[in-house]
């Protein structure tokens, strides 16, 4: 190679190296899945804004959110509300309605359009045979209920479901019936205004003995079924949601038949401390 060719070849090689660095663009960051519901109480999704929005919207995932029975390690406090008013005058709307530990009561309402996405029929006996709405529960809670019923049966206790999930429309009908029967003030001591019922979460169920006697009635208290539930429900992730002597806190009279799924970590903690969800979350006491 003569001396005139060497500089020319060096220039060609340099341009080739520089040009190769720009062919592969860095992948654009994916948009945060902030619209999906969290499964843990108090957890908050972190969203990092990007400088340029993607021109093509990303299709939402069809997969159901994975629910965890373990409560978040976030310090306890009142569940974060949204800024909008709740249904029927409730003080606030819960921020994470799909959480297994969501607090729903007279002061914490579900969003107006909330409906659980993973409702199933638990394989347990009910006091009726039809496969209707009030037989459904959310998938994780349904699985835990099946284990609870099996555990009770081993101890010689035969349980039956009375009423599980209720839609907003169903709860509205139920509440209006009680208002017509006892008046609104009295009805509010044992029935929830639509939008504020735990049954609408798909995580709560009313339970009785297999014969259906005293189903959702005061006479259920003190029965062998009620005593078994009080002692053993936390082992399966359930709590007696409205315990005796806590009406000033929960806003409802004692209901030994109403159990609520929160996951085993939290249920055992609440049982050991004798706390309600309101006390655990440091929530403002619910007015009667």
Tell me whether residue 255 is one of the annotated catalytic residues. yes
- Residue 102: which of 194, 192, 233, 203 has the closest Cα? 203
**Which among 29, 4, 80, 37 is positioned nearest to 203, based on CA atoms?**
37
| Catalytic residue, candidates 140, 198, 200, 255 | 255
Residue with tokens 């299709």: 59
Residues recognised as catalytic:
255
């Amino acid at each position: 190679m003569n001396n005139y060719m060497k500089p020319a070849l060096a220039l060609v090689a340099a341009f080739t190296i520089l040009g190769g660095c720009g062919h592969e663009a860095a992948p654009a960051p994916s948009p945060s899945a902030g619209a999906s519901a969290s499964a843990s109480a108090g957890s908050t999704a972190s969203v990092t804004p990007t400088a340029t929005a993607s021109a093509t919207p990303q299709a939402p995932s069809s997969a159901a959110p994975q629910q965890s029975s373990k409560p978040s390690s976030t310090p306890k406090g009142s569940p974060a509300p949204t800024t909008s008013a709740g249904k029927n005058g409730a003080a606030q709307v819960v921020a994470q309605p799909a959480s297994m530990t969501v607090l729903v009561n007279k002061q914490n309402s579900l969003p107006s359009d909330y409906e659980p996405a993973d409702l199933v029929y638990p394989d347990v006996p009910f006091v009726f045979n039809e496969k209707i709405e009030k037989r459904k529960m959310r998938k994780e809670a349904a699985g835990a209920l099946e284990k609870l019923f099996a555990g009770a049966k081993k101890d010689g206790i035969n349980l039956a479901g009375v009423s599980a999930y209720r839609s907003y429309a169903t709860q509205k009908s139920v509440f209006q019936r009680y208002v017509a029967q006892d008046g609104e003030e009295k009805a509010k001591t044992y029935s929830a205004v639509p939008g504020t019922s735990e049954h609408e979460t798909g995580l709560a169920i009313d339970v009785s003995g297999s014969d259906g006697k005293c189903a959702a009635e005061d006479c259920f208290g003190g029965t062998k079924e009620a005593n078994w539930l009080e002692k053993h429900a936390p082992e399966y992730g359930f709590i007696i949601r409205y315990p005796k002597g806590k009406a000033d806190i929960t806003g409802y009279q004692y209901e030994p038949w109403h159990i609520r799924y929160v996951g085993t970590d939290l249920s055992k903690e609440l049982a050991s401390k004798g706390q309600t969800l309101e006390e655990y979350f440091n929530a403002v006491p619910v007015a009667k």
